[in-house]
Amino acid sequence: MRATLALAILAAMTSTALAGGGFDIVVPNRPGVPIIINGVDASYAVVESAMGLARNESMVPTIYGGRPIDPVPNVGHYYPSLGHMPGYGRLEIEPPANRQLPKPAESYHESWSARSAPLPAQSSVPVDPPAVIYAPQFNGPQPLPGPVPRPPRPRGP
């Protein structure tokens, strides 16, 4: 019984290692983001090839059900990698000289300023200061309030 179970597990593990010579169905991770293989949108298509990490050689993949895409995007932007020269200037329309001008805008003025806050009143030195400054009396540490603790008992024979 144990030998049969071990043989079944061994057969199941080696069969996945031998798989990979057939075809694959391409499913993108994010919807709306195409998977492009050699200029063909291979999203939800069947790809047949012998390429991967386990193969030392690679064949050109055959894609069944893919849609070819335009290699040059039809957008109005400049991409240096396309090899085209960019357009120069803007599309500006010069207005006619005898057109009606808009009414002038109302005047607008703002100003900002910053300053320090006023200083507090200064204390002046008394007119007749004392000649000697007396220090407070200190009589040493005072005992804490409460009962006086007993001294420790002597130990020994």
Domain assignment present for residue 118? The answer is no
**Are the C-beta atoms of residues 54 and 20 closer than 8 Å to each other?**
yes
**Residue 26 near residue 35, CB atoms below 8 Å:** yes
Contact 27, 46 (CB under 8 A): no
Average pLDDT over residues 128-152: 78
- Residue 47, in any domain of the structure: yes
Q: Tell me the whole-structure pTM to 2 decimals.
A: 0.35
Domain that holds residue 56: 21-69
Report yes or no on 129 lying in a domain.
Answer: no
The CB density around residue 28, as the number of other CB atoms within 10 Å, is: 13
8 part of a folded domain = no
Flag whether 124 is in a domain. Answer: no
Give the number of domains in the chain. Answer: 1
* Structural contact between residues 20 and 10, judged by C-beta atoms closer than 8 angstroms: no
> Considering the domain boundaries, does residue 9 fall inside one?
no
Domain annotation covers residue 49? yes
* 11 located within any domain: no
Question: pLDDT tens across 5-51, in order?
Answer: 887 787 776 655 555 567 788 888 888 888 888 889 988 898 887 66
